[in-house]
Amino acid sequence: MQNIPLVNLKSQYLKIKNEMDQAIFDVIDQTAFINGQAVQDFENQFAKLYKANYCVPVANGTDAIYIVLKKLGIKDGDEVITTANSWISSSETITQVGAKPVFVDINPDFYTIDENKIEAAISKNTKAIIPVHIQGQSCEMGSIMALAKKYNLHIIEDCAQAHFTEYYEQHVGLFGDASTFSFFPGKNLGAYGDAGGILTNNERLALNCKMFARHGALKKHEHEIEGINSRLDTIQAAILNVKLPYILEWTSKRIENASLYNKYLADVKEIVCPKVRPNTKHSFHLYVIRTKKREKLALYLKEKGIETAVHYPVALPNMKAYQYLNYKPTDFPIATAYQELMLSLPMCPELNEEQIVYIANCIKQFFAIES
Ligand SMILES: *Cc1c(COP(=O)(O)O)cnc(C)c1O
């Protein structure tokens, strides 16, 4: 029997162990734990890879969204539109600045916010949209930017799952006012703890975000405003710097692995494999299939040594945390139906063809027994 984790962080570490150990040791040796050189290096290199004017390194991907919303002036009484299927950071940050999250159902093929249902959710209080490039799939940015222009709305792209995803050959993350990234260990570019970042081409917004994340001071003891403590840790920055030179190769490997899954699962009628939005590059943070027999399949795969997960078992508006908004599950027919059907199969650059064949064969065996 094989043992295939959802994400193989250990195997990735072993491939870069020498340089990684050295980079971590160097930070300790220099005792530059806060705002060390590695943080500045990451800021420069990440921005450069994206051809973005500014990167603001922060403590995690959730803070990144909160900080951007705050510095765009989103506040009490405002509404911000986001998707029904995401991690709670996409919406809890809206509440953190005092605004109200307004959820929109997802596109049945691509899992991202349904661009055709956004306009109906816009009110006179709407100030921004947070499109989430979920699973690594690009949102329909053309339609979303057109709405932003028509209604004068801010756009904050949540790129936590979409490092180097492309929409018409442009990286997602530079379409809106700013974009936010998570470098949580399991993300496509992951630190060895919490880490995050903001990208923007807007100089004033970049400086305001940076100042806010550092207690309201760009220079030590010169507090122009009150802020928060959301610095990127130097050790985490050093870890990210080691990984940056590999990230494009790792992204290609994910895409390759997704094609292999598609190939080996093509004739399994009981499941729906992920589709890629035309004219985009999906970075496959997750490889999500849909099946009516999800629970039984997950259990069967577990017995075969294959780890799976559900992203996510409850759509955001259906959560207890949002009961106060008085939504009904039927307001989000696709997201509500899919919360019972989605299953994430192992996906990472370290996954190989032999393992994918094994996983595909186990899935076929399961449906042969079931039918
Ligand atoms: C992971 C994630 C975040 C939050 O990132 P953290 O670094 O864990 O705070 C935000 N949005 C989405 C869609 C995510 O997947």
Q: 57 CB under 6 A from ligand 1?
A: no
CA–centroid distance, 191 to ligand 1, in Å, is: 13
pLDDT in tens, 122-163: 999 999 999 999 999 999 999 999 999 999 999 999 999 999
Average pLDDT over residues 177-195: 98
pLDDT in tens, 71-100: 999 999 999 999 999 999 999 999 999 999
Q: 189 CB under 6 A from ligand 1?
A: no
CA–centroid distance, 163 to ligand 1, in Å, is: 12
Instruction: Evaluate if residue 371 carries a pLDDT over 80.
Output: no
Q: 165 CB under 6 A from ligand 1?
A: no
User: What pLDDT sits at residue 284?
Assistant: 98
Instruction: Evaluate if residue 229 carries a pLDDT over 80.
Output: yes
pLDDT in tens, 287-323: 999 999 999 999 999 999 999 999 999 999 999 999 9
| Residue % of the chain over a pLDDT of 70 | 100
| Residue % of the chain over a pLDDT of 90 | 99
Q: 196 CB under 6 A from ligand 1?
A: yes
pLDDT in tens, 325-360: 999 999 999 999 999 999 999 999 999 999 999 999
CA–centroid distance, 182 to ligand 1, in Å, is: 5
Q: 90 CB under 6 A from ligand 1?
A: yes
Residue of 60, 62, 68, 189 best suited for mutating to test ligand 1, as the one with most atoms within 8 Å of CB: 62
Mean pLDDT, the chain, rounded, equals: 98
- Of 337, 263, 345, 354, the closest CA to residue 300 belongs to 345
